[in-house]
Structure 1
Amino acid sequence: MSVVGTRDFILGFEPELLVVQIAALMPVKTLRPTLKASHMYTQISQSIREIGLVEPPVIARDPATPGRYLLLDGHLRIEVLKDQGRIDVECLVSTDDEAMTYNRSVNRISPVMQRAMILRALERGVPEAKIAAAMSLEAASVKRRVKMLDGICAEAISQLNDRHCPLAVFDILRKMKPLRQMAAAELMIQHNNFSVAYASAILTGTPVADLVGGTKPTPKNVTPAAMARLERELDNLQSAVGEVQESFSRDNLHLTVAKGYLKKLLANRSVYQFLTDNYPEILEQFQTIADVTSTLPSNAAA
């Protein structure tokens, strides 16, 4: 039986990894001189020294010079290997020589996921000292990551599972009861703000009944009257956010429909020319709506 409608496809990478001489790699970008002093460089260097190269660099064959390769991704890793005295490296060979950073399409691991990886490594017998060295952390920091979710309810953990929250945020959430933890996590997600300052503000506006210790935290140099005003403003803000959420889905649907209609309308040459000649201001507004790519704020859409 023959298959109808099948199409040939081209592999994006060669099926086998290739060991090449580092001297044969031609970087497609120049690293900043200060990069070697960065925390990222130190962390990668420590990781490679302790557990080896986890993610192979991506290269492409240079059609003009056999035996030479374009280094598409992994410039920092290659610099680390050079500094460690390595002369060759195992690479992933791309069939396309487009110079892009593949890591831009990768979601960086969140603290909650990082903790899960640490726990799994500990369960397999990897010493804490080796984990700390591979992650370029102090041993005490590894212990803190292991205990970071103690006292945090499962629902809040699920909400923040893929969010990049500082460890101190979980210390703040731990002071709240489970329902308040969930509400605080929801507020941080709504505002795309996972900073310690914002979490502290939520804690400050938390009623005593929702605190684990039953003691209201009092910021320095804040009068009782100012604290009461802050609590009222936070309650008003939460109510306003709730009202916006209720109307967002409806408004987003209306905008999507309008965008599609206007895009088709402006694709009509006669209509476009008529608006250009008679109503340029309206055409400009129509064009703005038709060109909308996201209804999210610019920082959230990124």
Structure 2
Amino acid sequence: MRREPSSSRGVSRGFEDQCITLRIEAVLPLRTMSKTAKSSRKYRQIAASIAEIGLVEPPVVARNPDAADTWLLLDGHMRIEVLKDSGAQEVECLISTDDEAFTYNRQISRLAPIQEHKMILKAIERGVPEERIAAALDLSPRSIMRKARLLDGICEEAVAILKDKPCTAAVFDTLRKMKTLRQIESAELLVNANNFSVAYANAILAGTPQAQLVEASKPKKVKGITPEAMARMERELTRLQEGIASIQDTYGQDHLQLTVIKGYVGKLVGNARVTRYLAQNHADFLSEFQTITEVTAGETAHTD
């Protein structure tokens, strides 16, 4: 029996199996460092981390097709600069099979505050002194303890919703003033609005009914907002939540229908005879149909 050729030859690897130690001078940066980079907090944190515990994440390089004895630096420009400043001559690197820096960096997921909290908590549980963690992250011991207590008073459901979101400690301070169910509702509001600012969290707090606060008997106070404005915000926020709930109930079906409609209209506009007829008799319809076909999936789909 004749075997059909496979449509796929397997998944290609993004990196070579082994790291390699390279001379730093043979690693060629793909972008120049800004004049202010070395005075930035990020640079100081990387320098402190390398000085305290060494290089944790190896820079990523690709083979240079134009010169066999040099390598293209895809990720780790600040790490390389810190090593140069410290007098290092060599660095262990991870070898990428793709030499396009954009493709690599697009896949990077930055550490969210909750993930950072869990990392710090795990280090403390393993017996790493708080002072050493602080030195590695270029933070004060007090900041480390605050990050370790980031989720105190926050329910598990809200944590799950915000686990990979860029919420600052001040946002969690605001959520901590709310009861469990309200924390969950507030976390969903933050995600639905794709707004994780302290100002928005405080607006949600201002619109939270007194009975849903941890200290229900204590009048809530939000700087710059009068009691009358807070009462109005409570009513408006309630209506907003009801509206969001009704939209979520029908979103999937509505999006499917719109996708089908777009496909159908696209076929109509792709027919030369139909397009010619519309251009001659209903030019305004043709313009609208073409606009519909040009709508991208990103514009029709809900984004977090």
TM-score when scaled to structure 1? 0.88
Equivalent residue for 1:71, pick from 54, 66, 73: 73
In 2, distance between residues paired with 1:2 and 1:150? Answer: 64
Partner of 1:293: 297
Aligned residue identity for 2:29: P
State the match for 1:219 in structure 2: 222
Question: In the alignment, is residue 234 of structure 1 matched against residue 269 of structure 2?
Answer: no
**Displacement, 1:101?**
5.6
1:168 corresponding residue in structure 2? 170
Q: What letter matches 1:240 in structure 2? A: G
1:164 counterpart letter in structure 2: P
* Equivalent in the alignment of 2:246: 243
Name which of structure 1's ranges 173-182 and 236-245 shifts more when overlaid on structure 2. Answer: 236-245
Cα offset, 1:182, TM superposition: 1.2
**How many equivalent pairs are there?**
299
Structure 1 CA distance for aligned equivalents of residues 212 and 43 of structure 2: 43
CA contact (8 A) 2:168 2:198 kept: yes
Report SS of the residue matched to 1:97.
coil
Tell me the CA shift for residue 234 of structure 1: 2.2
Structure 2: distance between partners of 1:240 and 1:209:
22
Deviation at 1:11, TM superposition (A): 3.8
Change (3 A) 1:283 1:38: farther
TM-aligned CA distance change 1:24 to 1:188, over 3 Å:
same
The question of whether the paired residues in 1 share the 8 Å contact of 2:255 and 2:301 is answered with: no
Q: Distance between the aligned counterparts of 2:116 and 2:101, measured in 1?
A: 29
Structure 1 position 110 matched with structure 2 position 112: yes
SS of 2:45's equivalent?
helix
Deviations 1:64-106 (A, max 9, x none): 3221122222222211211121111111223333232623212
- How far residue 23 of structure 1 moved from its aligned partner, in angstroms, is 0.7
The answer to whether the aligner puts 1:255 opposite 2:258 as a matched pair is yes
C-alpha distance in 2 between matches for 1:159 and 1:90: 37
Q: CA deviation at 1:165?
A: 0.7
Alignment map for 1:1-302 (pairs within 5 Å): 5-6=5-6, 7-8=8-9, 10-100=12-102, 102-214=104-216, 215-220=218-223, 222-272=225-275, 274-275=277-278, 279-291=282-294, 292-294=296-298, 295-296=300-301, 300=303
1:216 Cα shift? 2.2
1:166: Cα distance to partner?
0.7
1:172 deviates by: 1.2
**In 2 relative to 1, CA 233–64 (structure 1 residues): closer, same or farther, beyond 3 Å?**
closer
Deviations 1:200-236 (A, max 9, x none): 1111222221111121212345443333223222222
Report SS of the residue matched to 2:98. Answer: coil
Q: 2:60 and 2:22 mapped to 1: Cα distance? A: 11
Distance 1:280 1:2, change over 3 A: same
Distance 1:118 1:220, change over 3 A: closer
Unmatched runs of 5 consecutive residues or more in structure 2: none
What TM-score, normalized to structure 2? Answer: 0.87
Q: Deviations over 1:234-262 (max 9, x none)?
A: 22222232333334323212211122223
Distance 1:200 1:71, change over 3 A: same
Residue by residue over 1:2-34, the C-alpha shift from the partner in whole angstroms, topping out at 9 and shown as x without a partner, is 985445455443222111111112222222211
Q: CA separation of 1:220/1:40 partners in 2, compared to 1, >3 Å: closer, same or farther?
A: closer
- In 2, the alpha carbon distance for the partners of 1:178 and 1:194 equals 19
> Equivalents in 2 of 1:72, 1:273: separation in Å?
50
Contact 1:204 1:216 in 2 (8 A): no
Q: Quick one: percent identity of the two aligned structures?
A: 51
| Amino acid of the structure 2 residue aligned with 1:245 | Q
TM-superposed CA distance for 1:59, in Å, is 1.7
